[in-house]
Structure 1
Amino acid sequence: MLDELASVLERDGNTHWGSLMRNARARLLNSDYLGIEHLLSAYGGMGSLTDVVLGQSYKDGAIEWKPECDALNERFTVLSSKAWELANAIKRSQ
């Protein structure tokens, strides 16, 4: 899930959030519970993952939208919501 989420983010040029997802995934693969905390810290608050909108760029001071932006954002929303749900389920089980 996190690998696919990172790929979606990185394909749109969002290396910051993509890197965070890959880091959380690596921690979880190493059975490091901090991966859950790391992932959940990305959600909520100003400038968080929940504020990300994919498929846009700036040209001459104006926002331009990629033709596939609706599908891209829909996939991103599904993946990020599922990642949050799974991380919270793991946190509650601890």
Structure 2
Amino acid sequence: MASDSIGGLNADLDSLLVLLDDADEQHWSRWFRAARRDLSNRDAYGLRRILQAYGGMGSFNDLVIHPRNGHTISPDEARQVNERLDTLRTQIYRVAHQLRREQPR
């Protein structure tokens, strides 16, 4: 795995975890914390775990941070938080997908 890309991915995962924890989004926080731990242990399964979060009903793509969904943010913060979430979600997927494709089969 390319170390520069892994470093960037880990930084994005750290930012995502802060966002999820601040909003009290427990399910996806646990999911991505496990992926982050795998990557820190140089376990490529972390990439697979990340990519499994995307796609299908109820996936990470469907997550909307909002007080109506039980999240601990104000309605005024929802737009900004979700814009940041979308940016991180896209970047994390892009890098994880690229790294996964570069792995030997």
Please report the TM-score for the alignment, with normalisation by the length of structure 2. Answer: 0.79
Determine the C-alpha separation between the residues in 2 that align with 1:71 and 1:17: 19
Which gives a bigger RCO, structure 1 or 2 (Cα 8 Å, sep 6+)?
2
Deviation per residue, 1:16-71 (Å, 9 max, x gap)? 10111111011001110100011100000000000000023269xxxxx6111000
What is the rounded CA distance, in whole Å, between the counterparts of 1:56 and 1:74 in structure 2?
16
Over the residues paired in the alignment, what is the CA RMSD in angstroms? 1.5
Distance 1:69 1:30, change over 3 A: same
Q: Who is 1:51 aligned against?
A: 62
Structure with the larger strand share? 1
Which of residues 10, 14, 31 in structure 2 aligns to 1:20? 31
Q: Deviation at 1:12? A: 1.1
Give the % identical residues: 35
On the 8 A contact 1:6/1:18 being kept in 2, the answer is yes
Counterparts of 1:1-94 in structure 2, within 5 Å, are: 1-57=12-68, 66-94=75-103
The aligned length equals 89
TM-score w.r.t. length of structure 1? 0.88
Superposed structure 1 runs of 4+ greater than 6 Å apart: none
Q: Could you list the runs of 5+ residues in structure 2 that have no partner in the other structure?
A: 1-11
Which protein has the bigger helix share? Answer: 2
Task: Specify the code of the residue in structure 1 equivalent to 2:21.
Answer: E
**In the alignment, residue 87 of structure 2 is paired with which amino acid?**
V
**Do the aligned partners of residues 76 and 26 (structure 1) sit closer, same or farther apart at CA in structure 2, a change above 3 Å counting?**
same
Take 1:70 and 1:58, find their aligned partners in 2: how far apart are those partners?
14
Q: Structure 1 unaligned runs (5+)?
A: 60-64
